[in-house]
Amino acid sequence: MSAPAAPAPGAPVVELDLAELRDDPYPAYAELRRTAPLAWVPSVGRHLLTRYEDIVRAEKLPEVFSSREEGSLLLRTVGPNLLREDDPVHRRLRAAAEPPTRPRQVRDLWAASFERTAHQLLDRLEDRGEADLIADFAEPLAAANLALVLGLRTASAHDIADWSRAMMAANGNYADEPDIWLRAERATRAIEDAVAEAVDAVTDTPDGSVISSMVHAADPVSPTEIQNNVKVVIGGGVNEPRDVFGVGAWALLRRPEVLERVLKDPAVWKRVFEETARWISPIGMYPRQLAQDHEIAGVTLPAGSRVALVIASGNRDESVFERADEFDPDRPHRPHLAFGGGPHFCMGAWVARHEVSAIAWPLVFSRLKGLRLAENTPDRLDGWVFRGLTSLNVTWQTP
């Protein structure tokens, strides 16, 4: 399957500046949805598919929109992995890795430890009266929880967070910056060493972790497959819960009337989570490659064509979500695309939902009294392939 680095016949060509997309991609996405829902973007080297209904359609056709993209940035970063495989290989790897991340296992195996870690982090912060809740809380919480679920016994939360940042930067390195590739190579070598130690530990003593599940899978998984798929999980497993936590907390602190209602009814935290994931999709797009000729959004794409499913755009599609650019946890429910769909629905979705909506947000807002955004330290949203706050500077009343 060749991959022509050119627009499909009849596809509009739209020039987009990557720096502008990083700053705020949503105006460009709105224009694409309106005028060119499938467009070739030279700076990205692929067609962007931006309307909700077209993205959903593509996700339901994995035999056409293949995950096995030639030259994928993710493949270059971590090697062959379940996100860049189609069935039956994808099904085998997912069946081996997924059991520890299912809702019941999250509740029974991991929830108590997640809560204990959150309390420990808040114990260190409570007397300070100020913090960056991304660097000081959300990222170390997500990283520590991920190390536990994966079974990486010798990796610290700091290690996991560093590795995740390095690999996610490489996965979005469309500008091909050499320093980013170098950082990613160092991170992946360190992960391979940590996984090898974990495999040795659970071979005779299973511990319920993802690595343990893969080691003892009924359908064998090779050591290299375990290493590569742990790399993939470390990427999304940190940035998704970290960024949903940060953006959701930031949005609530800017809308105190909504925060007051949530605090009176903790059941609303779940709606806040889903709305935050829709409003600012932590993973904004992912690539596919056409396995056969196919017409979509008025354009016939030849086999081999590269496409990006821009789920951040689909989640702002005004034909599906009324007032789509607004943060509104009370909006009527419509399924968002933030965790993907079809066979590749995010394996860690239930972990993220529980650690953020059931633990992190309720504890932060209950323990840090009078929590408010810090003055004169504006927080900035950044990114388009992956998007979140670079910081969340807050103050509160000390005990």
Asked whether the beta carbons of 115 and 176 are under 8 A apart, the reply is no
How many other C-beta atoms are found inside a 10 Å radius of the C-beta of residue 135?
Answer: 15
Distance between CA atoms of residues 33 and 31, nearest Å: 5
- What six digits make up the tokens of 78? 């971590």
Instruction: Answer whether the bond into residue 88 is a cis peptide, omega within 30°.
Output: yes
Q: pLDDT value at position 70?
A: 83
Beta bridge partners of 41: 46
Estimate the crossing angle of helix 223-254 against helix 89-97, to 10 degrees.
Answer: 70
Render the burial of 243-254: b for 16+ CB within 10 Å, e for the rest: bbbbbbbbbbbe
User: CA triplet 15, 50, 280: central angle to 5 degrees?
Assistant: 100
Residue 24 region by backbone torsions, left for phi larger than 0, else alpha for psi between -120 and 50, else beta? beta
* SS3 per residue for 119-177: HHHHHHHCCCCEEECHHHHHHHHHHHHHHHHHCCCCCCHHHHHHHHHHHHHHHCCCCCC
Burial of 153 (0-12, 13-18, 19+ CB in 10 A): middle
Asked whether the beta carbons of 211 and 228 are under 8 A apart, the reply is no
SS3 113: helix
Distance between CA atoms of residues 25 and 276, nearest Å: 16
Residue with tokens 């224009």: 31
Residue with tokens 């016994």: 153
pLDDT in tens, the chain (399 residues): 444 568 999 999 999 999 999 999 999 999 999 999 999 999 999 999 999 999 999 999 999 999 988 878 888 888 888 888 888 999 999 999 999 999 999 999 999 999 999 999 999 999 999 999 999 999 999 999 999 999 998 999 999 999 999 988 898 888 889 999 999 999 999 999 999 999 999 999 999 999 999 999 999 899 999 999 999 999 888 999 999 999 999 999 999 999 999 999 999 999 999 999 999 999 999 999 999 999 999 999 999 999 999 999 999 999 999 999 999 999 998 999 999 887 878 889 999 999 999 999 999 999 999 999 999 888 899 999 989 999 999 999 997
Q: pLDDT value at position 2?
A: 43
Q: pLDDT value at position 1?
A: 43
Residue 257, CB half-sphere, CA atoms under 13 Å: how many? 3
* Identity of residue 122: L
Asked whether the beta carbons of 379 and 357 are under 8 A apart, the reply is no
Q: pLDDT value at position 83?
A: 83
- What six digits make up the tokens of 195? 């996984």
Domains and CATH numbers, the chain: 18-395 (1.10.630.10)
